[in-house]
Amino acid sequence: MKPAKLHYWILGWFFTALCCWCTSDTFIQSDIHPHAWKKLYFAHHWPVTVCKMNANDCHDPPEYWTIHGLWPDRAEDCNRTWHFNVTEIKDLLSDMRHYWPDVLHSSLNRTQFWKHEWDKHGTCAATLEVLNSQKKYFGKAIELYQHVDLNGCLLKAGIKPSSSYYKMTAIKETLTRFYGVTPKIQCLPPEEGEEAQTIGQIEFCFTKELQLVNCTAREGGSNVMHAHLKLGTSELSVCNDTLPTYYPSEVQNHK
């Protein structure tokens, strides 16, 4: 290669690299292309912890893990003209109330939570044919919930709400062994003067073919998911492997 050619080659490489770098950076900003997502996060939350995080009217939370949402990574609010319409999911309503309740507003109009999930996440997930209607999106989430059966898995492993603490590594290993993939586990950090974190959310990752995958791979890059973690005044974050972990059976410190 002649020196001049080499020079252009290097320059070309440099701009290609620069360009990729810019593109991945703009993912974080806005105007995310609805097709840009790669993975679905299927979030289950522990209603008792959700209640603990909020000063809202949250009475008698269910004592089983419920659905928080089915979220494409790297995409949100993909179609603002595709409005949520509860009539479209009328056949699913009894399952929805049971498996996907609005834990925080149980006494109010419950469709708001589903509307929020559809507007923000469902409209993006709908680029997949198997999720391209409200009935398919919510119906498939319920199907995945039953298939994953997180409540059954934890029960079989003897991991139950308790006043004594669990080791986070034990919970993580149990789930990883059972499912063959590593979920993302989130906790409320210890409050001042407390030693234990409180488990709050477990997310399973799926490919676009709806196969389970590790949540850990290529986690960095986008911070879009952060938006989901904040509820009320306290915030969930990835659990600390070394802290004792509380799996609460009743709401304490109710504000």
Ligand X SMILES: *[C@@H]1O[C@H](CO)[C@@H](O)[C@H](O)[C@H]1NC(C)=O
Residues that bind ligand X (CB under 6 A): 79, 81-82, 85, 87-88, 109, 111, 181-182, 213-214, 240, 242-243
C-beta closer to ligand X: residue 106 or 251: 106
Answer yes or no: 68 catalytic. Answer: yes
Q: How far is the CB of 85 from ligand X (least distance, A)?
A: 4
Shortest Å distance, C-beta 25 to ligand X = 24
Alpha helices in 64-180 (DSSP H): 93-99, 111-117, 123-125, 134-148, 150-156, 168-179
Task: Count CA atoms within 13 Å of residue 101 on its CB side.
Answer: 24
Q: Which of 44, 45, 121, 228 is catalytic?
A: 121
Judge whether 33 counts as a catalytic residue.
Answer: no
Which CB sits closer to ligand X, 2 or 30?
A: 30
Cβ-based nearer residue to ligand X, 4 or 30: 30
Q: Which CB sits closer to ligand X, 54 or 182? A: 182
CA distance 192 to 28: 32
At 151, list the tokens: 């409540």
Q: Which of 45, 117, 203, 228 is an active site residue?
A: 117
Q: What are phi and psi of 171, to 5 degrees?
A: -65, -45
Whole-number Å distance between alpha carbons of 51 and 69? 17
* Least distance to ligand X, CB of residue 166, Å: 15
Task: Quote the least distance from Cβ 49 to ligand X, whole Å.
Answer: 19
Residue 117 among the catalytic residues: yes
CB 122 within 8 A of CB 129: no
Between CA 206 and CA 119, with CA 110 as vertex, the angle to 5 degrees is: 50
By annotation, the residues acting in catalysis are 68, 117, 121
